[in-house]
Amino acid sequence: MKKMALLIFVSLLISIGCETKQSGGFKVISINPNEAKQSFMLSELVDSIDYIKLENSEESMMVRVGEIILGNQYIYAVDNGQNALFIFDKQGSFVTKLAKRGDGPDEYRQLGPVFVSEDEKTLEVVDYLGEKSRILRYSNISFELLDERSLPFPSANSWKKENDLYYFSTQQNENIVNGERTNADIIIMNEIGDQKSLFSKSITTNGSTFSFNTESFIKNKAGKIFVSLMYKNTFFNLQGMEAFPEFSVDFGKYGIDNSIKLESTDKQKEYLEQNTSGLAFFPVLNIYEQNIVSFTYYFMDGLNRKFHHYIDLKGSKKIIHTNEIINDINGFPSNVYICSFSYSIKHNPVDGDKLIHIILPELVVDQDEINTDVDGVGIINAEDNPVIMLMRLREEFQMD
């Protein structure tokens, strides 16, 4: 796979020194980031590992994967580099790809968000052109154009669809909602283009925005959608056109000054680069199931930005709070990340009773070594497509 600019995690999970309390009718988890352990052994959490190696053939090679969707029938990979959607079977064999970039009636000029229907019979592809955006609905997997409609899609870093509503995590991006300029954190839109902004603000960006995470949404097995916002330590449940607080993370004296969100993006960057040593920020909810709740956050240890995991295994009352998950089961890869945006690739970190990690070979395989043989994976090279790692939770931690 070609070289790409990636958000690479610097490091990563057991501390019981975290306090849970109620505030304003919802739960607050108090965390001291200094109490996170340096490392945690993967074998204490999962009992086995499987891999899905996405086929590496001339027709299936991808350039810059932005999202991987694990369906019941197929695996869908959005390649931002080629403006194409690749489809593989559940064993990783290449099936086909949607590559219709052009100006024809059934083509798109810029591949934006992709939404797969629950039954996997249809695909919605956004021809992402700002106010002139449109949705093309194709049959799966023949890619026959079924219909199209114009919808003014906002500028956002992540998105989710539920029934007839589209949710956008716009972070600091500038958009126009109902004729007004806004840097609202969330924009909600229905299928006829009616929009509503939540957590509105107006800041100076001069066209420059940034985000530390590429995925802000998760959907749990109960069908509930949750969102994490950059400068709010509260996770929200989205219902219809409203957002309701679910629970919060309180870093106490170790939290950044979230009021910086109202300053220009230049001042925000300066603050985050120069004034956050010893502080924690930007928690992201990754899993919210009955028996397991997991979020990640950043912690500046001197000049080093660390990536911390907090995993509450509610059924067993075990809490994991660590900086690093070491793969002591088979060593490939040596470290794993349980989050919804591994190496900037959006994905659901849960599939049934398994946790998901996306492996980018170019980051874990020696660039100079050819045909590395990995147990359970086979021959792999640095230029290969991503590999999907499935980790089965130990029986006492099962989510069902």
Closest CA to 222 of 292, 161, 289: 289
Give pLDDT, residue 23: 57
Give pLDDT, residue 130: 87
Is it true that the peptide bond before 141 is cis, omega within 30 degrees of 0? yes
Q: Where are the domains of the chain?
A: 19-397
Give pLDDT, residue 18: 60
Give the pairing of strands 293-301 and 46-53: unpaired
Q: How many CB atoms lie within 10 A of CB 309?
A: 24
Query: How high is the mean pLDDT of the chain?
Result: 92
More confident residue, 316 or 117: 117
**Helix (H/G/I), strand (E/B), else coil: 294:** strand
Q: Tell me which residue has tokens 């154009």.
A: 145
Give pLDDT tens digits for 294-335: 999 999 999 999 999 999 998 888 999 999 999 999 999 999
Which amino acid type is present at position 351? D
The span from the CA of 21 to the CA of 213, in Å, is 27
What lies within 8 Å, CB to CB, of 169 at 6+ separation is 156, 157, 158, 159, 185, 186, 216, 217, 227, 229
How distant, in Å, are the alpha carbons of 135, 155, 239, 306, 364 from that of 283?
32, 22, 21, 12, 26
Lowest mean pLDDT among 67-76, 108-117, 207-216, 222-231: 207-216
The span from the CA of 60 to the CA of 70, in Å, is 17
Strand order through the sheet with 46-53:
46-53, 387-393, 354-359, 350-351
Give pLDDT, residue 24: 60
Give pLDDT, residue 121: 98
Q: Is domain 19-397 annotated with CATH 2.60.40.420? A: no
What lies within 8 Å, CB to CB, of 194 at 6+ separation is none
Res. 12: pLDDT tops 70: no
Give pLDDT tens digits for 337-373: 999 998 999 999 999 889 999 999 999 998 878 888 9
The span from the CA of 112 to the CA of 297, in Å, is 27
Average pLDDT over residues 11-32: 64
Provide the token pair at 369.
């070594």
Give pLDDT, residue 366: 84
Q: Tell me which residue has tokens 């911390």.
A: 308
Percentage above 70 pLDDT, the chain = 94
Percentage above 90 pLDDT, the chain = 84
Give pLDDT tens digits for 216-268: 999 999 999 999 999 999 999 999 999 999 999 999 999 999 999 999 999 99
The span from the CA of 198 to the CA of 189, in Å, is 11
Average pLDDT over residues 192-217: 94
Strand order through the sheet with 186-190:
158-162, 165-169, 186-190, 195-198
Provide the token pair at 79.
């390649």
Q: How confident is the model at residue 15 (pLDDT cuts 50, 70, 90)?
A: very low
Give pLDDT, residue 21: 65
Beta bridge partner(s), residue 147: 137
pTM to 2 decimal places: 0.92
Res. 154: pLDDT tops 90: yes
Q: Tell me which residue has tokens 């669809």.
A: 161
Provide the token pair at 264.
């220009």
